[in-house]
Structure 1
């Protein structure tokens, strides 16, 4: 922080903190690990199909969160409006999927 004096008023100038590549490398390794776990679950073959599907869905949700948080920078301040609109889109899409499944099997 740098202190500057302007018109008798002291102001504080803040710098933008640069994250550096460390968090991106960790997020990349985490994404690769999630992908390898998903591939291993499918390649194992002898694993229960219901367990495999649930594991794949959990890996997909974690992968989306990592992608949005680190690569799309949704974890940073000032991204509330895009997060709200994306949550609304997920809600509408989820409602449409549930309604379609209900309509097909009813």
Structure 2
């Protein structure tokens, strides 16, 4: 195989990869803005049950974190299993520390 054939073959493989354009990023950015607007509206609206507002804010926060991790930190892409596993382990350790601290303080 000549150098020119190898270069042409490399270019074909290189261009066949799917490039994620800015369209998804714009859609995800708008979705993040909508989630933030819903959270602000829930807090600023008077007469809404406080428990409902807290639950809505927690749901909006979880959705926001998933969107941020999935699209802006690219954890939805292939090859990111180890960072995901380490984050799950970190959440487990942090949750255990919080529960232990609360148990220790209130016992």
What is the TM-score with the length of structure 1 in the denominator? 0.83
C-alpha RMSD of the superposition:
1.7
Listed as ranges, the gaps of 5+ residues in structure 1 are 7-11
Separation (CA, whole Å) in 1 of partners of 2:49 and 2:38: 15
More strand by share: 1
- Residues 50 and 104 (structure 1), Cα distance of their counterparts in 2 relative to 1, 3 Å cut: farther
2:68 corresponding residue in structure 1: 67
> Shift of the alpha carbon at 1:45?
2.5
Counterpart for residue 95 of structure 2: 94
Task: Map 1:1-106 onto structure 2 (within 5 A).
Answer: 13=13, 15-106=16-107
Instruction: Answer 1 or 2: higher relative contact order, Cα 8 Å, separation at least 6.
Output: 2
Alignment partners' CA distance in 2, 1:23 and 1:57:
25
Question: How many residues get paired?
Answer: 97
